[in-house]
Amino acid sequence: MSNTSVEMTDVDPDIAKQIAQSQDAQTQAEEEDATHARLQAQFSSDPRIHFSKETGAWHFEADDGREMQWDATKNVWVEVVDEDMLKAQQAAYAVEGVDEETPAAPVLARTNKKRKKEPVDYTSNTDPSAPGPTIKRGKNNKGDKKEDSSAAPRKSKNTAVFVTCLPIDAQADEVAARFGRFGLIMEDDEGKPKVKLYQTEDGRFSGEALVVYYKEESVELAVTLLDDAELRLGEPGTRMKVQRAEYGHKAAEGDAAVENIGQKRSVDKKKATKRIGNMERKLADWNSDDEFGPAGPKINTSRVVVLKYMFTRQELSEDATLLLDLKEDVREECSMLGEVTNVVLYDEEDDGVMTVKFRDPVSAQACILKMNGRYFAGRKITAEFYDGRQKYSKSGHDALDGNADGEDNEQAERKRLDDFAEWLMKEGE
C-alpha cells in the first residue's frame, strides 16, 4: 500500500528553503505591522513626533532641539546626525584665512627639515652646483613682498541690510529698535545706531533705510525674519521689504552710504579702536529679551510651532475638503520661511489647533514672528512654540501622523468619507 502523504524530507531542499524563507518574511512583516500600529497609537498625540517616509522611522524633537529617531531594535530614541548642520557648524568655527586641509606649522617644520636632509641624486640631469633659491632669516626680500601684493584682495564682509516700504512717519529710533532684536547694530563715533533714513529731493522720507549691523551673521537673520514682516506689530500697513544691501543701492542719487559698503576708506584709527572695543563689550553683554539674538540662554530651539484659531469644528463639518485644503495652504505659506517637515490639523480641538514642524529653529522663529497676531477668516490667530507638555486630539489616522486607537477611529474615518461623498453629490446637483 503506497503512502499518499508527502513528508518534508521528500520535498526538494531548495523548495523547502524557499517555503521557510517565505514564512519567515510573512511573520516578520506581520510583526512590523503590529509594531507600527502600536507605536502609532503611542506617538500620535504628541506633535513633536512624526513618521518619516524617507527614513521609514519615527522622528522626535527633544526639548533641547535635537532630532531623535526611534530605534526599533533597541526600543530607544537615538540622535540623528544632520550632515548639513554639521557642515554649517564646521564653517561657523572655521578661522578666516586658515586652510584646515593644510598641516599645522609644527608638522610643516618637521617635513621641511626632513627634506633638507634628503641626499642629492647626482645621477639625474640636475646640476648639483647650480644655485637654488636663497633663504634669508628675518625680513622677507622685496621680491616676495611684490609677489604677495599681487594676490587677490580679501572680500570684505557685508553687514548691512536695505529696507524699503517703510511707513512715511517711521523714525530712525523705531527702525533701530525693531532691527536691533535680531543683531547688534553698529554705532557711529557718537554712539548712535547706524540707521540711515533716505529722503527724496524735496526733503521728505522716501520709505527706504539702511541698517548696518556689527556682525555679518545678523544680516541673514534679519532678512529671514523681517522680510515681509510688520515694522509695527499688528499693523498690516507697515509691512517691510528687507534684503542684503548691495553696492548699487541709492548710487544714482549720489549717496555713498550703501555704495561704499565693503570698500576701504580712511578712518581715525584711535576712534575706530575705541568704537570696536565698545561694540565688543556690548556684544558680550547683549541678551535679547524676546528670545532672539546671538547666544542668549533664552533662545528657544524648538522647531514645532502651534497655530490656534485656524478653523472651527463647524467649518470642518460643513466642508469636507477644508481639512486637506487648510493643511496644504499652511504648508505652502510656511515653506516660504524654511523647510517644513510636517503639518498636523487637530480637528477635535475647539481652539482650531494646527502644528507646523520646521527643519531648523530659525524658521520656526520666523513663523511665529510672521503668523502671530494675523487675521485669518475673521479670527486673530496665535503662533507659539510647542511647550512639550500639551496634548492635542484629532480623529482618523493616516500613515504619517495619524492616531490609531482602534474601532472608534475607524468609525470616525468612515464618517468623514461618508460626509465627503455626500458633499460631492451636492456639488453635482
CATH class of 304-426: alpha beta
Residue 319, Ramachandran bin (φ over 0: left; ψ between -120 and 50: alpha; else beta): beta
Amino acid 297: pLDDT: 38
Could you give the maximum distance between any two Cα atoms of the chain, in Å?
118
Rounded to whole angstroms, the Cα distance separating 141 from 32 reads: 73
Q: What is the pLDDT along the chain (429 residues), one digit of tens a residue?
A: 444 444 555 567 777 777 777 777 777 777 777 776 777 677 766 777 877 777 778 777 776 667 788 887 777 777 776 666 556 555 554 545 545 555 555 555 656 665 555 555 544 455 545 554 444 444 444 444 444 545 555 556 788 999 999 999 999 999 999 998 888 888 887 778 999 999 988 989 999 999 999 888 888 888 888 888 889 887 888 999 999 988 655 544 444 444 444 444 555 666 666 666 666 666 666 544 444 444 443 456 788 999 999 999 999 888 888 889 999 999 999 998 889 999 999 999 999 999 999 988 888 888 998 889 988 888 999 999 998 888 898 886 443 344 434 444 556 666 666 666 666 666 555
Rounded to whole angstroms, the Cα distance separating 76 from 63 reads: 16
Amino acid 415: pLDDT: 66
237 HSE (CA, 13 A, CB side): 4
Same fold, 160-285 and 304-426: yes
| Strands laid side by side in the 76-79 sheet | 49-52, 57-61, 67-71, 76-79
Q: Regarding beta strands 160-164 and 76-79, do their DSSP bridges make them parallel or antiparallel, or are they unpaired?
A: unpaired
Amino acid 342: pLDDT: 92
Residue spans of alpha helices (H) in 206-321? 217-226, 256-259, 269-285, 313-318
Report which DSSP code applies to 199.
Answer: E
Q: Please return the burial class of 177, using the count of CB atoms within 10 Å of its CB with bins 0-12, 13-18 and 19+.
A: middle
**DSSP characters over 124-161:** SSS-TTS------SSSPPHHHHHHHHTSPPPPPP--EE
Look up the CATH superfamily of 160-285. Answer: RRM (RNA recognition motif) domain (3.30.70.330)
Q: Could you tell me the residue ranges of all domains in the chain?
A: 160-285, 304-426
Amino acid 290: pLDDT: 43
